[in-house]
Every structure is written in structure tokens, then in C-alpha cells.
Amino acid sequence: MRQTQFSVPDAPANIKALPLNEHAVIVSWLPPALPNGQLISYTLYMKTMEDGQQSRQEYAIGPNTTTYTLRGLHKVMNLLKCKTSL
């Protein structure tokens, strides 16, 4: 039996970020329409700006999870970008 190679999946769909409280945001998404094989994980990237300093965090999330709560945010912190990838 011959097995085909995995391919790059479609992007996650319907990505939303909703405030939970003043220090946390819930990010949710739908799995890709065409996973093109078995999903291994999602990576959530967050860029913030605080006191003129930009920082970037990455969060590895399991393949069966479609929500993540970002905690430890501050009122003076600006969320510049938040996205998921596979």
C-alpha cells in the first residue's frame, strides 16, 4: 500500500479574539477546511507593544483545541497582532 505525503493545510478559519476581562482575551478559531493530513498543532502568535517596546510570544496548542485564553495582559498593553498557524 502506498501512502501519500502530507501537504500544507488550509489556514484556520473564523479567527476571533474576545475580551474575557481587563487582563485576558479568548482567541477562538475553526479547524482548516482542508487539513491535507493529520494536524500536529496550532501556533498562536501574539505581538504586543508596551512602553514603546514591541514583543512577540508564541503559544503551541494541541491539534484538537480551538480556543486559547491569553492571560496577563495590561491596560497599557496594545495587542498589535494575533494569529494562528499550523
- All domains of the chain, ordered by start, with CATH? 13-85 (2.60.40.10)
Return all residues near 4 (Cβ < 8 A) that are at least 6 apart: none
Q: Are 26 and 68 a contacting pair, CB within 8 Å?
A: yes
- Give per-residue pLDDT as tens, 41-84: 898 888 877 788 888 889 999 999 999 999 988 765 555 555 55
Q: Are 86 and 39 a contacting pair, CB within 8 Å?
A: yes
The reported pTM is 0.75
pLDDT of residue 49: 77
Q: By mean pLDDT, which of 2-6, 10-14, 52-56, 77-81 is the weakest? A: 77-81
Could you write out the DSSP letters of every residue in 45-70? EEEEEETTEEEEEEEEE-TT--EEEE
Q: Which of 50, 54, 7, 57 is nearest to 32 (CA)?
A: 7
- Give per-residue pLDDT as tens, 25-46: 999 999 998 888 888 889 888 8
